[in-house]
Structure formats: C-alpha cells, structure tokens
Amino acid sequence: MDVVQRGGGELFTSPDPDGAREFFRSKDKALAPKVMSVRKAVERFIRDGDYLAIGGFGANRIPTAVCHEIVRQKRKGLGFLGHTSTHDFQILAAGETFDRCDVAYVVGLEARGLSPNARRYMESGKVRITENSNYGLSLRLKAAAMGVPFLPARHLMGTDTFAYSPASVVTCPYTGKKLVLQPAVYPDVAAIHVHEADEFGNCRIRGIHISDLDLARACKRLIITCERLVHSDEIRSDPSRTAIPYYLVDAVCEVRYGGYPGCMAHEYFSDEEHLHEWLEVEKDPEAFASFLQANIFGVQDFSEYLERNGGMRKMSRLRRMELRIRAEEGRCGQE
C-alpha cells in the first residue's frame, strides 16, 4: 500500500500489536474476586502519566466516581482519549489531570453549552492536542480490540481534522481508492460504568454500549463501577447478556447512582440542574475552586457527593423521570 499522505497529529500511544500481546499474555486472568473501593482501585490501577479512557458518552453512563477520585488523588500528566467526553472531561480538566489529548469531542456538554473551565484549560497551551472524529477514535479502539495496528475508513480526507490527526491516507490495493488508516489505540487504563457486575468483573450493560465493548478489550487495565453487584450465578444463568468478561477486568466497585449527574438508561435521568450549576460556577475561577473543594476535595467519597447534592430524595426523583413514573406529589420530575 502506498502512503499518499500522513496526518501531522502526534501519536500518543504505540499501535504495535505485539507489545500489547506481550502485556495481555502476562495479565492475570484468574477467576478471582476483585471487589474494592473506588479509592483503592484508582490508587492501584491509575498512575501518573498513564493514557486514560473513560467509557460511556459524556454525561451518559460515565464512571463519575472514578473521575472524581482521579482528581481527588491528584493524578497528573495523564494522556486522555477525548471520545465524546463531556462531563467526564469537565471533571478531569478541573483537576488539570492530563497534558495530552486525542480529541473527537471535548469542552462542550452538547446542547447544554461549553464548559468555561475546560475551554480555558484547552486554550492554555498546557495540553498537547491531536484531532480526530468520534468514529475515528471508535475505530482506533476497535483496531486495538482486534489486535491489529490499524483499520481503514473513508472519512477525514481533505480536512484539517485529518491534517491534525495521527491517521494516514493510503491507496487501497484492491480498488485503487484512497483510504484513511486509523492507528490502534491501547489505553493504559480505562474506567467503565455498567448496570450489573459480579465479583469477578463479568458485566452487563443495558441500552447503547457506544464504544465500550471495544474499549474494554483495547485497554490494558480496566476499572468497572456498577450500579449493582450480582451473584455470579446470575451471570451464568444467561451468559448471552455478558458485555464484558471477567478476564479483562482489574477492579469492580459497586457505586449506586455512579453515573450521576449523567443519565443511566433504565435507572435514572441526568440532573440538568446540577450540570448547569457546574457550567455556571466555572465562569468564576475562585468560585469554581471552592465548588471543587466542597464537591470533590472536601468529601470522602462519591456517596458523600450524592448526599451533598440532594441525596436519595434527588435520586428517587431522577429515577422516576427515567422510568416515566408519576409520583403522587405531582408529575414525574416536575414536583
């Protein structure tokens, strides 16, 4: 294949499948219990300088507790896979935890607007940035999950997104057409929030899986947070529902409402008030610093954060919104 053009974006991780194979060969694949606290999981499996990826889709099924804990433990120098990363990105940017980033979608919170603090951080010159698209990053994960160094696609060509990407344009040996090659990305560590997991890390996801099936297979270390721990017999009673098998997983943390303030399909809807509060308070760096102190640095763990932000009463309301159940005191989500 002739390389026609190379994107100028920095490649932050090696796409070499043999390096990854060596790692996966030596990874412990024992069927062993892995239940631990989020604090311990982050202490053990996320190191300064790691290249990190977060599952879900911005403010949907994100492992918020892990993002908070990374900030609380003051991890620095991370690389980050910005694959439609919205509230998770906002949290990690608040801690200035990363200094290089593959961008498909960051800084924004979709229809809610842009994060002022994440914008400032990305404009500060402190972060090395390589561009891509959502499918581009999905495909980079898929290549890694397949154990191959790249996968082809027919996008990016002719744009600046290509010029600032790590992709290449080649000539297809079969059709003579131009193709983009997206290099595999093997994150050092990832965190994914799921509906159910057993103590060994077998996971079930309800609803869209976005890119998490490939992410779980591409990353070297994987922290799972789950809404509920279930007995392993439950997993084995219907193995067709397992999205992530135990041998990919390093830690399992039970975090009820762990995707808050994002949406968790079939469980609870997003807390738009609180997400709006983040966007508002970020406008003033001093106010934001005390907000972070109150919500992340000054709390022990995620359950204390939930307590601070409405606790079970709020969670019940978000749950009724998601399940479309009207409560006696008024219409669901509007009382």
Q: Is 53 in the site for another protein (CB under 8 A)?
A: no
The bridge status of strand 51-54 relative to strand 3-6 is: unpaired
Near another protein by CB under 8 A, which window of 51-59, 193-201, 227-235, 247-255?
Answer: 51-59
Considering only residues 84-103, where is the footprint of another protein by CB under 8 A? 84, 86, 103
Out of 55, 108, 166, 201, which residue is the one contacting another protein (CB under 8 A)?
108
DSSP codes of every residue in 63-125? -HHHHHHHHHTT--SEEEEESS-SHHHHHHHHTT-EEEEEESS-SBBTBT-B-HHHHHHHHTT
One symbol per residue from 231 to 270: x for binding another protein (CB under 8 A), - otherwise; what is it?
Answer: --------------------------------xxxx--xx
| Contact (Cβ atoms closer than 8 angstroms) between residue 42 and residue 225 | no
SS3 271: coil
Integer Cα distance of 47 and 70 in angstroms = 9
* Shortest separation between residue 35's beta carbon and another protein, angstroms: 27
Q: Is 318 in the site for another protein (CB under 8 A)?
A: no
Nearer to another protein, 196 or 214 (CB): 214
| Contact (Cβ atoms closer than 8 angstroms) between residue 15 and residue 166 | no
Residue 295's region, left for phi above 0, alpha for psi from -120 to 50, else beta, is: alpha
* Shortest separation between residue 49's beta carbon and another protein, angstroms: 23
Q: Is 273 in the site for another protein (CB under 8 A)?
A: no
Cis ω for the linkage preceding 261 (within 30 of 0)? yes
Residue 194: CB atoms within 10 A of its CB come to 29
Q: Is 113 in the site for another protein (CB under 8 A)?
A: no
Considering only residues 174-213, where is the footprint of another protein by CB under 8 A? 177-180, 206-213
Q: How many residues bind another protein (CB under 8 A)?
A: 66
Near another protein by CB under 8 A, which window of 14-22, 45-53, 118-126, 229-237?
Answer: 118-126
| Contact (Cβ atoms closer than 8 angstroms) between residue 308 and residue 295 | yes
**Backbone angles phi and psi of 164, in degrees to 5:** -105, 15
Q: Is 278 in the site for another protein (CB under 8 A)?
A: no
Q: Is 218 in the site for another protein (CB under 8 A)?
A: no
* Encoded tokens for 103: 């961008």
Q: Which residues bind another protein (CB under 8 A)?
A: 56-61, 82, 84, 86, 103-108, 110-112, 114, 119, 122-123, 125, 129, 131-136, 138-139, 142, 153-161, 164, 169, 177-180, 206-214, 263-266, 269-270, 272, 322, 324
